[in-house]
Structure 1
């Protein structure tokens, strides 16, 4: 049997190497995501309330995640607003653990940014593992992302669920209606403000996912926070929930409220007297 010419043999070897590389790439990506999920889960918490006379006493409403010094929890403002409107006697806080081992930890509402639908809670006591925020300005269309939260937690229990996503568009937070009569007060109020960009994702988020961190599947850096209600209500009023589109608020707005809270915390008690 004649040996293959050297150039043909080299070409075949190159093709084989490329095929092996392509075949192993998904495995490496899956391994990276699996490791990142294990790392971020301790920082992702439920957001809810506690009322001693209620059965069960703990009530879940959305997702949040720990940032900063380990005592700051970021979530969506509409999640907190639901809790504030429900019953003034309820104690707002976070839910940690999983399933029947879920525990409640009280928290204080520190910042409520309704324009960007963000809220910051502060914990007392021992800090929790915190997630680091990446530079949201570097996010591009087509970039791979993932988000972890507690969809339908009242039905499924407090178990972490992760979804893959692609940033399909960088889009304004509100799209003007083609019919002025369809502009409700909420849309009109948003149109009067300077528009800001949100991440549109090709993923489905269910009730309970609001407040989930949107992170890089290889590094775990957080670039946004999943918004289930506020943005979708402005942009997709005609589409029933859930649709195959999810939105996320860029992390730059989260950086702002973390910095604002830090500045307020640094002001001496005697200042302003």
Structure 2
């Protein structure tokens, strides 16, 4: 039997040990993260069920501020339906029960697909928003939220993901004819970096925090997946997910 080179053997043992340590860190981090993960939805007294669950959010700051996606708030508030405006609700776990708490929209950033909500009542456990400019391609992260929303029950689910690329997106022009000089300048101004991830996010994960597995510090917000059709997001997911860097959350929180 051929023995491994001593240095190679030590390297293998180190990598195995690092892998176990990383997994242990994530186990502890998930336990700390979950109390700050909330659902975002709406309430209509005459609807059955009265509370509709749309996406994910997470608590930051003083425990009464919730971060989510702008498109989640638009769906929850009935913005897309001219005949109805729903009341926003934030769903908070209370042991085996779920409490639907009133929430108000503080500010919305449609360009970066972010929104801040204000919770009523007592503060909840909060996550820390970190420096997303420190994130690097190849870095392993995790995100926790509610895939498929209420279908799986009110149980936060965690997926791991690597930053595959840090790329730039811009709001596209409606058509080629509108691409004049002014439109091109506007496109350049609206371009911003996003994290492309190799983890799979399903509908309902929108608004989930993307965080460091060891520290739990939030580095981004899940906002969309790459899919050919809406239906394929469930039946044939691409495994390519995008997240908004946390620096835009910080800008929203500080009003910059």
Q: TM-score normalised by the shorter chain: which range applies? A: 0.7 to 0.9
- The counterpart of 2:243, out of the listed 241, 248, 251, is 248
Q: Does 1:107 align with 2:103?
A: yes
**Counterpart residue number, 1:270:** none
CA distance in 2, matches of 1:124, 1:105: 7
Change (3 A) 1:244 1:190: farther
**Counterpart residue number, 1:93:** 89
Q: Does 1:25 align with 2:15?
A: no
Q: Which protein is richer in strand relative to its size? A: 2
- State the number of aligned residues: 243
Q: Does 1:53 align with 2:46?
A: yes
Question: Which structure's CA Rg is the greater one?
Answer: 1
**Counterpart residue number, 2:162:** 166
TM-score in terms of structure 1 length: 0.79
Change (3 A) 1:27 1:192: closer
CA distance in 1, matches of 2:185, 2:63: 35
**Counterpart residue number, 1:258:** 253
3-state SS of paired residue (1:126):
coil
Change (3 A) 1:217 1:192: same
Give per-residue Cα distances to partners, 1:176-204, cap 9 Å, x unaligned: 79x948x9xxx989736431100000111
3-state SS of paired residue (2:128):
coil
Structure 1 alignment gaps of length 5 or more: 1-10, 264-273
Is this contact kept in 2: 1:174–1:190, CA < 8 A?
no
Mean Cα deviation higher: 80-89 or 110-119: 80-89
What stretches of structure 1 move > 6 A for 4+ residues in a row?
187-190, 236-239
Q: Does 1:141 align with 2:131?
A: no
Is this contact kept in 2: 1:93–1:106, CA < 8 A?
yes
3-state SS of paired residue (2:31):
helix
